[in-house]
Amino acid sequence: MKMKKEIDSPLFESRSGKGRTAYKIFAASEFLAICYICVYRLTQIPAAYHGRWAWVGLSMAELWFVISWFLFQFSRWNPVYNKTFKDRLSHRYEKVLPGVDVFVCTADHVIEPPIMVVNTVLSVMAYDYPPEKLTVYISDDACSELTFYALLEASKFAKHWLPFCNKFNVEPRSPEAYFSSPQNPNPNPIMDSSFEFIKNEYEKMKDRIESASMHGKVPSDSRQQHTAFRQWDKVSSRHDHPTILQILIDGNSQPLPTLVYLAREKNPKYHHNFKAGTMNALIRVSSNISNGSIILNVDCDMYSNNSQSLRDMLCFFLDNKGKEIAYVQFSQYFFNLTKNDLYGGSYLLGNQIELPAMDGNGGPCYTGSACFHRRDTLCGLKYEDRESVNILEDQNHRKEKQSIHVLEETSKILANCTYEDNTQWGKEIGVLYGCPTEDVVTGANIQSKGWKSKYFNPPDARKGFLGAACTTLLHDLVQNKRWSEGNLMTALSKWSPLFHGGKLPVILRLQYSSFNLWCFHSFATLYYVTVPSFCLLQRISLFPEISSRWVIPFAYAFLSSYFLSLGEFLTCGGTLQGWWNEQRMWVFRRTTSYFFGFIDSLLSLMGVKHSGFVVTPKVSEDEVKQRYMKDVMEFGASSPMLIILATIAMFNLYSFGWRLNIVLFKALGVQILLSGMIVLINLPVYEGLFFRKDNGKMPFSVTCKSVILSLLACAAAIYLQ
């Protein structure tokens, strides 16, 4: 009886978040305030023609805010938090653990340096998992021999690093992160000699890799020693080359995970479909080499921070409910955030509230990295056929007598440009094509077929993965532009979760819509940060007088939303200044990233422009890094996005200063406060425009253009008065 209970006991449990009833009461009070605001807008329309257009426009902007508020509620009502039981997993399945294939993707050896790729690869090779069941694939879309050289060096170092990690159970298992930890990484006197040896070996490997990267060529002795470099003689460019595939470590012949390098074939005549094409090539190649039942994909800048993550993942897939789970999305945190999260890149609320809420309604979206997939679901397995597949079954197709050379040659064919011709790859099989956010589309498509997903963010344990956040403002804005563009194209595509969601629950469809429609936030926000200030110069009142009772619902809606977000942010571990930085970035992204994302989406749909995949730089210069760590905003390069930000900042400063002589308790008081709020948000912009002398200041061309444009707007407002 006791044995049966142990077998039937779950491998994970889910619990609902606390305070749901209190939040629903709070949301009801906000809804009441919104209703009063709507009544005010409908009953108090100005009689004067010159103010009516602004009033109607503001009403439309507020209507959009109401719609987004409605969608926002589903990200708060039913969060679910999961806990795993790895001891039960080990007791039950330790001898029959399934094979796991890890995909690490890199696309540019300059902005994604080889030493960073190496640290990610070593961290996933060092999982606490049987090495014969683990295979790591690195896809190099830049086809860089420097990256290949770095992996050769890593394959040698791995013979020392992996036994060291297993013997002393070190964390984290990225060498760079481990040796640079501010805490003492060597608390155990027994490991003194091993520690010094490993650290010395790592530093020598790092010096060799960085020296080769600096000089832009592989050392001649390495090139002569390894015949694999001859494959680069056939490489015309990173966009035109045959498939290069090399098994660097054969796990069948030594007690280490298998390590495979792949640069899939590129040809200017064939679209390579960016990261989605990379993933599909890896799925096919891995099926011939290792064919692991589970696939983990990570970006090259996101290393494994917890050696137990594979076992956490298996607690979901091997549970009694596991056959209905298609993928397990782990949380993504960042190792290089400043104390106050200057660019709002921690996504604390997303990790700790919004994704758990999706889990409570059917499962989180696939966010593109740190995600474990069933191989069969990625390859098109239907939900109704789930019972016929057992991930514990040995699916390794490799024959022991098959030589490494033969295996490499037969696998290369699977990464050719022409392999997908007249097939369902990218349409119904693998990662889907045709959208910049191929990850979200693929996850939603899998869920629409009836599959569920799970989200894992252990509150009391080491986070599973740590990545690199953007260290400049422009990089953050460009990244969010790509995301917003991809989300909108998802909403307008045949895979739209809202209209073509198949078996997706209705509430989950609405949650997808809350970020699929990011781009539309730009118009309402742009209107709110410009038109009220424009009307302020014209003495046109768009809000009730501060002494009027009508101001109460406006004040309540504004203050309650701010206090709610502040409370959530602090509860999730953020700081007060970090919350304010996030509010600033909320405005910056909506007025620039989302706006340009909408424009690019429109041009793509019209066939004028083709969507592309922009790789965000993962490293920064020392000077930029020093300013970043001091929470100093980096402007640097000129960009239309920065011109928009600076123009809005200057226009509101003029408007605020021009009308400060108006007593606050008169009709324009709320507009003055709104303009003043925008001025406060833009204090770093004014500093970058006029007071900073370093290289991270706002470019002089941006300063001139923004000053002229804002003065012209002010002149137009006063002239049209």
Query: Tokens 């490997």 — which residue?
Result: 205
* pLDDT for res 612: 53
Does the pLDDT of residue 16 top 80, yes or no?
Answer: yes
* pLDDT for res 496: 87
User: For residue 7, what pLDDT band results from cuts at 50, 70 and 90?
Assistant: low
Is 450 inside a domain boundary? yes
Q: Report the relative pairing of strands 244-249 and 258-263 from DSSP bridges.
A: antiparallel
CA angle 541, 545, 546 (to 5 degrees): 135
Task: Please list the active-site residues.
Answer: 141, 439
Q: Could you tell me where the DSSP H helices lie in 110-249?
A: 114-125, 145-168, 175-179, 192-215, 220-225
User: For residue 623, what pLDDT band results from cuts at 50, 70 and 90?
Assistant: confident
Among residues 446, 469, 492, the one where a domain terminates is 469
> Where would I find the beta strands (DSSP E) of 403-478?
452-456, 465-467
Q: Cβ distance 361 to 505 under 8 Å?
A: yes
Is 223 inside a domain boundary? no
Does the pLDDT of residue 667 top 70, yes or no?
Answer: no
Is 344 inside a domain boundary? no
If asked whether residues 394 and 512 sit together in one domain, one would say no
* Coil/strand/helix, residue 719: helix
Cα separation, 591 vs 649, whole angstroms: 11
Does the pLDDT of residue 683 top 80, yes or no?
Answer: yes
Is 354 inside a domain boundary? no
Report, as an integer, the average pLDDT of 120-135: 96
If asked whether residues 461 and 520 sit together in one domain, one would say no
Residues constituting the chain: 721
612 CA to centre of own chain = 17
Is 165 inside a domain boundary? no
* pLDDT for res 238: 87
User: For residue 399, what pLDDT band results from cuts at 50, 70 and 90?
Assistant: very low
Report, as an integer, the average pLDDT of 67-82: 89
* pLDDT for res 394: 57
User: For residue 400, what pLDDT band results from cuts at 50, 70 and 90?
Assistant: low
Is 352 inside a domain boundary? no
CATH of the domain at 122: 3.90.550.10
For residue 511 the two structure tokens come to 């949650």
Among residues 418, 450, 469, the one where a domain terminates is 469
- Residue type present at position 633: M
Report, as an integer, the average pLDDT of 432-445: 89
Residues 6+ apart with CB under 8 A from 606: none
How many other C-beta atoms lie within 10 A of the C-beta of residue 427? 12
H/E element holding 135? Answer: strand 134-140
Report, as an integer, the average pLDDT of 458-465: 84
If asked whether residues 69 and 89 sit together in one domain, one would say no
Among residues 442, 469, 496, the one where a domain terminates is 469
Does the pLDDT of residue 296 top 60, yes or no?
Answer: yes
Number of folded domains in the chain?
Answer: 2
If asked whether residues 456 and 549 sit together in one domain, one would say no
Cα separation, 520 vs 518, whole angstroms: 6
Is 211 inside a domain boundary? no
According to DSSP, residue 331 is labeled: P
Q: Mean pLDDT lowest for which of 233-237, 389-393, 496-500?
A: 389-393
Greatest Cα-to-Cα distance within the chain, rounded to the nearest angstrom: 88
If asked whether residues 546 and 580 sit together in one domain, one would say yes
Report, as an integer, the average pLDDT of 82-111: 93
* pLDDT for res 657: 83
Report, as an integer, the average pLDDT of 318-347: 93
Report, as an integer, the average pLDDT of 357-375: 94
Q: Cβ distance 135 to 289 under 8 Å?
A: yes
* pLDDT for res 664: 45
Report, as an integer, the average pLDDT of 279-295: 96
If asked whether residues 443 and 566 sit together in one domain, one would say no
* pLDDT for res 6: 57
* Coil/strand/helix, residue 250: coil
If asked whether residues 453 and 524 sit together in one domain, one would say no
Q: Mean pLDDT lowest for which of 190-199, 277-286, 390-399?
A: 390-399
Name 266's bridge partners: 241
265 CA to centre of own chain = 27
Cβ density class 431-448: b for 16+ within 10 Å, e for less: bbbbbbbbbbbbbbbbbb
Is 154 inside a domain boundary? no
* pLDDT for res 1: 46
Does the pLDDT of residue 437 top 60, yes or no?
Answer: yes
Does the pLDDT of residue 184 top 90, yes or no?
Answer: no
Nearest to 705 by CA among 655, 642, 633: 642
Backbone dihedral region for residue 532 (phi beyond 0: left; psi -120 to 50: alpha; all else: beta):
alpha
State percent of the chain over pLDDT 90: 66
Q: Mean pLDDT lowest for which of 178-192, 372-386, 516-530, 633-647?
A: 178-192
pLDDT in tens, 644-663: 999 999 999 998 887 666 54
Where in the sequence is the domain holding 134, given as residue range(s)? 85-141+242-332+367-469
If asked whether residues 270 and 310 sit together in one domain, one would say yes
Does the pLDDT of residue 3 top 60, yes or no?
Answer: no
Q: Report the relative pairing of strands 258-263 and 303-304 from DSSP bridges.
A: unpaired
Does the pLDDT of residue 530 top 70, yes or no?
Answer: yes
Query: Tokens 């503001």 — which residue?
Result: 58
Cα separation, 500 vs 498, whole angstroms: 6
User: For residue 390, what pLDDT band results from cuts at 50, 70 and 90?
Assistant: confident
H/E element holding 329? Answer: strand 325-330
Report, as an integer, the average pLDDT of 501-528: 91
Does the pLDDT of residue 634 top 50, yes or no?
Answer: yes
* Coil/strand/helix, residue 46: coil
Q: Mean pLDDT lowest for which of 145-159, 292-306, 437-451, 660-674?
A: 660-674
Cα separation, 491 vs 139, whole angstroms: 29
How many other C-beta atoms lie within 10 A of the C-beta of residue 412? 18
For residue 403 the two structure tokens come to 């030589």
How many other C-beta atoms lie within 10 A of the C-beta of residue 580? 16
H/E element holding 373? Answer: strand 371-374
Does the pLDDT of residue 190 top 90, yes or no?
Answer: no
If asked whether residues 303 and 394 sit together in one domain, one would say yes
Q: What is the pTM of this model?
A: 0.92
If asked whether residues 91 and 64 sit together in one domain, one would say no
Does the pLDDT of residue 5 top 80, yes or no?
Answer: no
Chain mean pLDDT for the chain: 90
If asked whether residues 546 and 629 sit together in one domain, one would say yes
If asked whether residues 446 and 525 sit together in one domain, one would say no
For residue 421 the two structure tokens come to 């011709």
Q: Cβ distance 388 to 483 under 8 Å?
A: no
What CA–CA distances, in Å, run from 633 to 68, 340, 488, 628, 681? 29, 12, 29, 7, 13
